Structure 1
Amino acid sequence: MPDLLNDNAVTRDFFARSIEEQNDFLSQTWCNHCMEVDLGMTNPKEFESKDGVWIEGNCVKCGQVTITEIVEEDE
């Protein structure tokens, strides 16, 4: 998991991704509060640091902050 408290994290433009990617990342989530998978996420913000890339948003069901780590695959 990326270091979310890392002061060197930079904001990325989540909406620069394709609509298909956005929809996948916003629907394929895990909420630590609800303890459920694929509830969905709103208000996405994308970040990057030396530890990785992640999206932070709010769980559709409970509204709590949820984080999805992005694993970029080699093509």
Structure 2
Amino acid sequence: MTELNEGTVQKLDFFARPADEQQDFLQQTWCNTCMEMDLGMKNPVEYRDKDKLWIEGECVKCSTKVVTEIVEEDE
């Protein structure tokens, strides 16, 4: 993988993930506007920077931007 510099954000292909992972990330959400969890996300875009990995999309209920940070665990 390419080394990312401080402040550099790389757009990734969310749909390259396995289908079951996609479904989990799209369903397990929190909306700050609706103040509800697991409403779902549409139009996902995955990003990575030097320190974190996250998915941005829109709440299925209210269309407000929602962000899910992905924590990669070492196996």
Report if TM-score (shorter chain) is over 0.5.
yes
Matches within 5 A, 1:54-73: 54-73=54-73
Stretches (4+) displaced over 3 A: none
Structure 2 letter corresponding to 1:34: C
- State the distance in 2 between where 1:25 and 1:38 align: 10
RMSD: 1.2
Matched residue, 1:3: none
- When normalised by structure 1's length, the TM-score is 0.88
The structure number with the bigger radius of gyration is 2
- When normalised by structure 2's length, the TM-score is 0.88
Matched residue, 1:34: 34
Unaligned runs of 5+ in 1: 1-5
Structure 2 letter corresponding to 1:17: R
Contact 2:7 2:50 in 1 (8 A): no
Secondary structure (helix, strand or coil) at the match of 2:8 reads coil
Q: Number of aligned pairs?
A: 70
- State the distance in 2 between where 1:37 and 1:30 align: 4
